[in-house]
Amino acid sequence: MSEFDFEGVFDEDYLYFYEEMLSPERTATEVEQIVEFLGQRGDVLDCPCGHGRISNALAERGYRVTGIDQSELFLDRARTDAEARGVDVEYVHGDMRALPWSEQFDALVNWFTSFGYFDDETNRAVLKQFHEALRPGGRLVMELQNPARLFRILLPSHHVERGDDFMLDIVDVDWETWRTRSERIIVRDGKVRRAHFTVRLYSYPELRDELVGAGFDNVRPGVEPNLENRLIVVADRPGA
C-alpha cells in the first residue's frame, strides 16, 4: 500500500473542507509574494497546480501559465475557473515525477506543501525534474511546511468543521525520517471514509543542500525562517 493515498486525499472533499482556509484573500496575498519572486519571468509552470488557485491568479497578472496535476477533478475545476475569469492557462494531466518538458519555462512555482510526498530518492528526482523544466536562468519558488514552526504548533489531531460535516487528521511524526504520517477521517453527508498520507519535512538548510545537489544555485529563503513563518525557498537554474 502506498504511503500517500493521492486519490483519497486530493478529491472533492479536499476542495470542500479547504475552501475557507484557501480564501480569495489568502490567495491574493500569496500571489503578491510569488510575483515579487518571479519578477518579469514570463513562462511559468505551476507544479502541481491543484484546482488552479495560483495558476489562474498568475495568469490574471499577465504571466503565461501552464499547470500540471494528476487529479482530473482538480484540473476540471481549474479550467472552469480560468474560463470564468477570462484567462488562458494550459492545464496538463501528468505526474510531477515525470515532467514532459525540457528548458521550457522561465519559472516554476511549487506552492502550499506540494513537495515531499515520496521517498527521499524520488523527492531528489523531482527537484532534478524541476531543474530540467527550467530554462537557464530560470527560477524555482517553493512554499512548504517549516518544521520549526510545525513542531511548535502541531497537535496529535486537528479537525475542520463545516456544518454537520468534519474532517479529522490524526498525525504522528516519524522522528528518524522526519515525516508526518496522517490518517484522515472524513464525515460528510452522514458517510464516513478514511485516507492516509505522509509528507517529508525539510529544514531550510537540508532543502538548500538538496536543491544545490539538483543543480540549482543562488538558493535563499524567500522569507526569514523563524518560528512563525511557513518556509519559502527561492533558487535559480544557472544561466547559460
pLDDT, one tens digit per residue, over 9-27 is: 999 999 999 999 999 999 9
Q: Does the pLDDT at position 1 exceed 60?
A: no
72-96 mean pLDDT: 98
Q: Which residues contact 190 (CB under 8 A, 6 or more apart)?
A: none
85-96 mean pLDDT: 98
Q: Does the pLDDT at position 225 exceed 90?
A: no
pLDDT, one tens digit per residue, over 155-200 is: 899 999 999 999 999 999 999 999 999 999 999 999 999 999 999 9
pLDDT of residue 240: 66
Q: Does the pLDDT at position 237 exceed 60?
A: yes
Contacts 24+ apart (CB under 8 A), 80-89: 81/51, 81/52, 81/56, 82/52, 82/55, 82/56, 85/56, 85/59, 85/60, 87/56, 87/59, 87/60, 88/59, 89/52, 89/55, 89/56, 89/59, 89/65
pLDDT of residue 170: 98
pLDDT, one tens digit per residue, over 13-64 is: 999 999 999 999 999 999 999 999 999 999 999 999 999 999 999 999 999 9
Global pTM?
A: 0.97
The beta-strand segments (E) located in 58-190 are 64-69, 90-93, 105-110, 134-144, 157-162, 165-174, 179-188
**Mean pLDDT taken over the chain:** 96
Q: Across the chain, how many H-helices and E-strands are there?
A: 8, 11
